[in-house]
A and B are shown apart, each in its own frame.
Chain A
């Protein structure tokens, strides 16, 4: 049996969906469905070893070669720019990176716009492309609080259904980019395990197309 392909998947709801796609593609591992406290699951007959890690850590596992391939959100790839191959858009976990704020917010264009976000690089790039100077406020969570308490004028964050925004009296002001889960590969792994990585990518791609 050749070496197993190490696959890093995001924990949580997105991970369940992603694992479902891998299973459908013929890379199932029954132990995943009965996880207990285990973090690593192997299926030697399918040639894969899965680990479930924090979604924002998947790209690090792949870039550093602890995983050969993985699934990470486009938001994470744009924010941290890991040196990996992005082979497929899996179309799962679709959401939007948006500028949000109070519905009546109007940017006067004067001074620096105060923007609170977890995604400082994406935000900086976006406003640089608009030629707008900003005062970036990096927050790690509860971003929606920032405009409510006057900490920032607007926020840049992921919006899935918009329910949290609405509940807090906020609205999407501008959509920056669409976000979805991407199949990524470590560069040397792609080269040394080319057949295994591309066979998996092909099967995943076939499954996505079937679904479409």
Chain B
């Protein structure tokens, strides 16, 4: 059962879903339960390791969904054309084990099939537009996972050190890079520092990267980013940040994180996850993102708006006339409450007294 409050006029969720529908994405509805086995096999894809489980009446071990993407991929047949889907669902996770499980509301989209340059650009653009619908200022960080990994391969850095370097990059910590010990020459250590700290609007960032001495593997990833930057030239708020990290067993290519001022962590997360699709036995690519709706509460701290636009006090009204009046107001988009006295603590914008067939302010 959907929470009716979420369908009140002009909620962030409604704005996002309308955006996705406008671009031809179809609503995907999922149940709350899924067989636990799906998550057990793809445990590290899910943020936070704890999963709420229960035994179903037929003995199967089930889970309250900690994630939507896995179910979408598992249940979506792949054909020649792209499957463009959006969703708005709750997931159940324990992001902080000490705080227990939480119901997290997400809205997002998934595009599954043979992705091309346009599909990727459209998804990044929709991620930026999603953020733009939620706040007047936003930042969408973009990276290509092949860039740093390609750089490590080009520089001949032993794979045993890649994860350490990527973890340091994620924290923009370059003071702990032990060049010699990890197979980085002075020059490559300096290039690594520049890559990690590079921060610029996407197109400008790509230009800066092009000036660096990158080898062929990193250059391949850069070339994909360069095409993306050109396609997204007119979309504001997209920045290059190579420090974003994602599990390469699932993710490849472009990865996204979205931020809004006043919200202390990323409100949007996504990327290309061909690896996950292949792990689930599909020969296709996929990309998508999720917006964490719970975090949006942080955008409007303090006292919420009024409980109704119009409070009508029934002071011996003619019921038919009052009902007609209320229907006219609600049809014009107003939120209306009728009562015989002002309810305690109730906040309203207009007060109307209704007597007989007459309304007076």
- Interface of A toward B, CB cutoff 8 Å: 63-66, 83-89, 186-188, 190-192, 194
Query: Is B230 an interface residue when CB atoms closer than 8 A count as contact?
Result: no
The answer to whether B175 and A89 have CB atoms under 8 Å apart is: yes
Report the bound CA distance from A188 to B267 in whole Å. Answer: 10
Are A188 and B264 in contact, CB atoms less than 8 angstroms apart?
yes
Minimum Cβ distance to chain B for residue A66 (Å): 8
* Residue B192 interfacial (CB < 8 Å): no
- Complex interface: chain B residues within 8 A of A88 (CB): 175
Q: Name B173's closest neighbour in chain A (CB-CB).
A: A86
List of A residues within 8 angstroms of B259 by Cβ: 187-188, 191-192
Whether A89 and B176, one on each chain, are in contact in the complex, defined by CB atoms closer than 8 angstroms, is yes
Nearest CB on B from A191, distance (A): 5
Interface of B is mostly: loop
- Which of A63, A85, A87, A188 lies in contact with B263, CB distance below 8 A? A188
Cβ-defined contact, B263 with A192, below 8 A: no
For A187, the chain B residues whose CB sits under 8 A away are 259, 265-266
B261 to chain A: which residues have CB within 8 Å?
188, 192
Residues of B244-280 at the interface with A, using a CB-CB cut-off of 8 Å, are 259-266
8 Å CB contact of A191 from B139, B171, B173? B139
B residues in contact with A194, CB < 8 Å? 199
With a cutoff of 8 Å between Cβ atoms, the chain B residues found around residue A63 in the complex are 264-265
- Which residue of chain B is the closest to A184 with respect to CB atoms? B171
Determine whether the beta carbon of A64 is less than 8 Å from that of B264: yes
Query: Within B172-205, which residues are at the interface with A (CB < 8 Å)?
Result: 172-173, 175-176, 199
Is B137 an interface position by the 8 A CB rule? yes
**In the complex, what's the smallest C-beta–C-beta distance from A89 to chain B, in angstroms?**
5
A63 to B263, alpha carbons, bound, how many Å?
11
- Chain B nearest Cβ from A35, distance in angstroms: 27
Whole-angstrom distance between the Cβ of A197 and the nearest chain B Cβ: 11
- Taking a contact as CB atoms under 8 Å apart, the answer to whether A65 and B139 are in contact is no
The answer to whether A192 and B264 have CB atoms under 8 Å apart is: no
The residue on A at minimum CB distance from B172 is: A85
Closest CB of chain B to A118's CB: distance in Å?
16
The minimal Cβ–Cβ distance linking B247 to chain A, given in whole angstroms, is 15
Say yes or no: B171 contacts A85, CB within 8 Å: yes
**Interface membership of B239, Cβ < 8 A:** yes
In the complex, which residues of chain B have a beta carbon less than 8 angstroms from the beta carbon of A190? 172
* 7 closest cross-chain pairs (CB), A and B: A65-B264, A86-B173, A85-B172, A188-B259, A86-B171, A89-B175, A191-B139
Do B172 and A87 touch across chains, with their CB atoms under 8 A apart?
A: yes
Closest chain-A Cβ to B236's Cβ sits at a distance in Å of 14
Judged by a CB distance under 8 angstroms, whether B110 is at the interface is no
| Inter-subunit contact A84/B175 (CB<8 Å) | no
B141, CB-defined interface residue at 8 Å: yes
Can you name 9 A-B residue pairings with CB atoms under 8 Å?
A: A64-B264, A65-B265, A86-B173, A186-B264, A187-B259, A187-B265, A188-B139, A190-B172, A191-B199
A191–B141 CB distance below 8 A: yes
Shortest distance from the beta carbon of B47 to any chain A beta carbon, whole Å = 11
Chain A proximity of B193: nearest CB distance (Å):
12
Task: Name the CB-closest residue of B to A183.
Answer: B175
Residues from chain B with Cβ under 8 Å of A188 in the complex: 139, 259-261, 263-266
The distance from the CB of B301 to the nearest CB of chain A, in whole angstroms, is: 12
**Nearest-CB distance from A201 to chain B (Å)?**
10
Query: Could you list 18 further interchain pairs (A-B, Cβ under 8 angstroms) beyond the known A64-B264, A65-B262?
Result: A63-B265, A83-B265, A84-B171, A85-B171, A86-B172, A86-B173, A87-B173, A88-B175, A89-B176, A186-B264, A187-B265, A188-B139, A188-B260, A188-B263, A188-B264, A188-B265, A191-B199, A191-B259
CA distance A85 to B199 in the complex (A): 14
How many angstroms from the CA of A188 to the CA of B241 in the assembled complex? Answer: 12
The chain B residue with its CB closest to the CB of A85 is: B172
A66 to B262, CA, bound (A): 9
Shortest CB distance A187–B (Å): 7
Instruction: Determine the chain A residues whose CB is within 8 A of the CB of B175 once the complex forms.
Output: 88-89
Nearest opposing residue in chain A for B261, CB measure: A192
CA–CA, A57 and B334, complex, Å:
46
CB distance from B140 to the nearest CB of A (A): 10
- CB-contacts of B288-314 with A (<8 A): none
Contacts of A89 in B (CB 8 A): 175-176
Distance (Å) between the CB of A43 and the closest chain B CB? 22
Interface string of B23-43 (1 = CB under 8 A from A): 000000000000000000000
Q: How far is the CA of A191 from the CA of B139 in the complex (A)?
A: 8
A192, B266: Cβ atoms closer than 8 Å: no
* A165–B172 alpha-carbon span in the complex (Å): 35
Q: Which residues from A are CB-within-8-Å of B266?
A: 187-188
A63 CA / B176 CA spacing, docked (Å): 21
Measured in the bound complex, the distance between the Cα atoms of B266 and A190 in whole Å is: 12
